[in-house]
Amino acid sequence: MTDEDREPAADEDRKPVSDEARGGSGVHAVPVAAGAPGGGDGESSTTSEFAVPEGATPPRPVVGEAETTSEFALPDGLDAPQPPGGDADGSAFSTPNTYRAPAFTPPTGIPVVSLTKDVPWQDRMRTMLRMPVAERPGLELPHKVTEEGGAAVPRVLDLTLRIGELLLAGGEGAEDVEAAMFAVCRSYALDRCEPTVTFTLLTISYQPSLVEDPVSASRTVRRRGTDYTRLAAVYRLVDDLSDSETGTSLEEAYRRLAEIRRNRHPYPGWGLTVAAGLLAGAASILVGGDLVVFVAAALGAMLGDRLAWLCAGRGLPEFYQFTVAAMPAAAIGVALTAAHVDVKASAVVTGGLFALLPGRALVAGVQDGLTGFYITASARLLEVMYLFVGIIVGVLLVLYFGVKLGAELNPDAALGSVQRPLWQIGASMLVSLTFAVMLQQERSTVLIVTLNGGVAWSVYGAMHYTGGFSPVASTAVAAGLVGLFGQLLSRYRYASALPYTTAAIGPLLPGSATYFGLLSIAQNDMDAGLVSLTKAAALAMAIAIGVNLGSEISRLFLRVPSGSAGGRRAAKRTRGF
């Protein structure tokens, strides 16, 4: 190929770049004559209007760095701060190194919550659960986790679920169970946990960060048992885990939890049967019975308790157990009436009902509803309804056959018309004591709850019999005092409030109203029966609401975690929105 053949190609190479070609780079290229700086003889070369003039010394590029720069680049001589950890790849969701979280995130500002150590862990955890996740404070104190690298997340979640299972099976409220589960997680540095409690299902979810997958676990509560001694031991375990100075490791927590599960009940089976009999006898004295009525009611309750144990051993549901347990006391009352024995047979039946009415489940159900756990509250109240219907069926069967056999049962007979304050206060204290034994309470709490039950009946008697107040209002005030004193005692001992309140409401249970309603229905007087049963339901609701209100009042005047203007926020919603 000759030089003439090469000439057009060289000229063609020196032509300006087209607009289409310039669109991608944004650089305006112009031809440069041969011999110019940056050009060469016979070679293609382009320059820019921003090119360095001839004679000027261009800045020497730094070896190993990109030659392009930006208007946001750091000036010469200023060293850029290097992130720790070398050249590890970051994430688009990572927090910038220069970011500092403000003290107030929303426009109106969120006060920083200070959770003081002298506040019980129940209040601290309940306060955090009632706060949005973004507003919850982090761990304030250095943690006591002794394992290398911290405890394993699945094991911590499993321990949390096992502790929650024992509390829920023991009759604890849903909010208190969630607070205990949250306390266990935070004690092992898992502060992004969300516990969820329903009637039979426990779930907990932990998310390490915004960009990591959450870890979730669940556990089903299939068996329920009333043992307040075990409940108190679980509360002590949670209290030790929440204390950063105790240094309870994960293995130690598992060992203590296994001991709690293996521990036997503090009272034997025959002791529970005797307690059921004494409870029924004391309740019959409470409503106007005498010594014969006391013995008859005690025998009926003990026989019913043994029949219920027999049905439980055969695997029958609780509905049939309550049905069978309600029949002996009613049968003895009908038999005494048919034999024309000069006793108050209605007091015998009423005393037997006191040992069966599900006051514990009723209080827990109403408490869950008032604190915003509506699904759990509905399930608990439905359980109470089924148990109550079982009692109704058992008593109605006996009363129906008694009426057919000619027993002269009088639904208009007034119980408790004879005012015997000292006898009734003593009987109320015996009801609370035996109720505490049936709930398997610790021996150290039996005396306290017995005194609390005597105070409750004294207030009720003073308002109803002396002051002339309605029984519903008198019951609500007395139950409110029970809840107030029970909450104060539980805070003093950093324990659950159930052992101090459940047995104390025993003397207030609506046994007589239930019996007279069932008797009226058995005698085909539906209107009077429904009115009496409605009164019994109103008394039961007054007990439950009074206990919860007393607990809430105690929290209003006690020290709570500081920070927000309201101090202690509502459970779920406020004013309906």
The amino acid present at 316, given as its one-letter code, is L
Residues 251 and 198 in one domain: yes
400 in any annotated domain: yes
401 in any annotated domain: yes
The amino acid present at 535, given as its one-letter code, is K
Identify the residue with better confidence: 226 or 485: 485
Give me 536's structure tokens: 């019994």
Chain segment 328-348, per-residue pLDDT in tens:
988 998 888 888 877 787 888
DSSP code string of 101-136: --S--SSS--PPPB--TTS-HHHHHHHHHTS-GGG-
Per-residue pLDDT for 433 more than 90?
yes
Chain segment 89-116, per-residue pLDDT in tens:
556 556 555 555 544 445 555 444 444 4
Query: 216, 240, 262: which is the final residue of a domain?
Result: 262
Identify the residue with better confidence: 354 or 473: 473
Contact present, 363 and 505 (Cβ < 8 Å): yes
**How many residues in the chain?**
577
Task: Give the residue numbers spanning the domain of 256.
Answer: 121-138+152-262
Per-residue pLDDT for 121 more than 70?
no
Q: How many domains does the chain have?
A: 3
Give me 573's structure tokens: 């919603």
Work out the average pLDDT over 480-506.
84
Per-residue pLDDT for 130 more than 70?
no
Chain segment 149-163, per-residue pLDDT in tens:
456 888 999 999 999
Residues 244 and 299 in one domain: no
53 in any annotated domain: no
Pairing assessment for the beta strands 215-220 and 201-206 based on DSSP bridges: antiparallel
Query: 228, 262, 296: which is the final residue of a domain?
Result: 262
pLDDT at 303: 93
Answer yes or no: pTM beyond 0.85.
Answer: no
Residues 157 and 202 in one domain: yes
For tokens 């003889």, name the residue. Answer: 41
pLDDT at 137: 63
Mean pLDDT of the chain: 75
Residues 332 and 438 in one domain: yes
Work out the average pLDDT over 251-260.
91
Q: How confident is the model at residue 577 (pLDDT cuts 50, 70, 90)?
A: very low
- Report how far apart, in Å, the C-alpha atoms of 4 and of each of 1, 41, 239, 333 are: 8, 16, 99, 134
Q: Give the lowest-confidence range in 149-158, 385-394, 453-462.
A: 149-158
Residues 301 and 404 in one domain: yes
pLDDT at 161: 94
Residues 537 and 461 in one domain: yes
What is the CA angle 516-521-523, rounded to 5?
Answer: 95
The amino acid present at 314, given as its one-letter code, is R
Lay out the sheet containing 201-206: strands in order across: 193-197, 201-206, 215-220
Which residues make Cβ contacts (< 8 Å) with residue 535, sequence separation at least 6? 471, 472, 510, 513, 517
66 in any annotated domain: no
Residues 227 and 304 in one domain: no
What is the CA angle 257-261-265, rounded to 5?
Answer: 135
Work out the average pLDDT over 280-302.
88
Identify the residue with better confidence: 17 or 212: 212
Q: Give the lowest-confidence range in 184-188, 280-284, 303-307, 549-553.
A: 549-553
Q: How confident is the model at residue 165 (pLDDT cuts 50, 70, 90)?
A: very high
pLDDT at 176: 87
Per-residue pLDDT for 145 more than 90?
no
Residues 209 and 256 in one domain: yes
Q: How confident is the model at residue 274 (pLDDT cuts 50, 70, 90)?
A: very high
- Nearest of 183, 49, 165 to residue 126 by alpha carbon: 183
The amino acid present at 405, given as its one-letter code, is L
How far apart (Å, rounded) are the C-alpha atoms in residues 376 and 195?
14
Residues 221 and 312 in one domain: no
Residues 410 and 450 in one domain: yes
> From the CB of residue 380, how many other CB atoms can be counted at a distance below 10 Å?
25
pLDDT at 459: 92
How far apart (Å, rounded) are the C-alpha atoms in residues 263 and 258?
9
Residues 404 and 542 in one domain: yes
543 in any annotated domain: yes
165 in any annotated domain: yes
Residues 297 and 230 in one domain: no
Q: How confident is the model at residue 219 (pLDDT cuts 50, 70, 90)?
A: very high
Query: 203, 235, 262: which is the final residue of a domain?
Result: 262
pLDDT at 25: 44
Contact present, 367 and 288 (Cβ < 8 Å): no
- Nearest of 231, 242, 140, 131 to residue 181 by alpha carbon: 242
- Nearest of 545, 549, 548, 519 to residue 531 by alpha carbon: 519
92 in any annotated domain: no
Per-residue pLDDT for 442 more than 80?
yes
Q: How confident is the model at residue 304 (pLDDT cuts 50, 70, 90)?
A: very high
pLDDT at 57: 59
Give me 286's structure tokens: 């409470």
169 in any annotated domain: yes
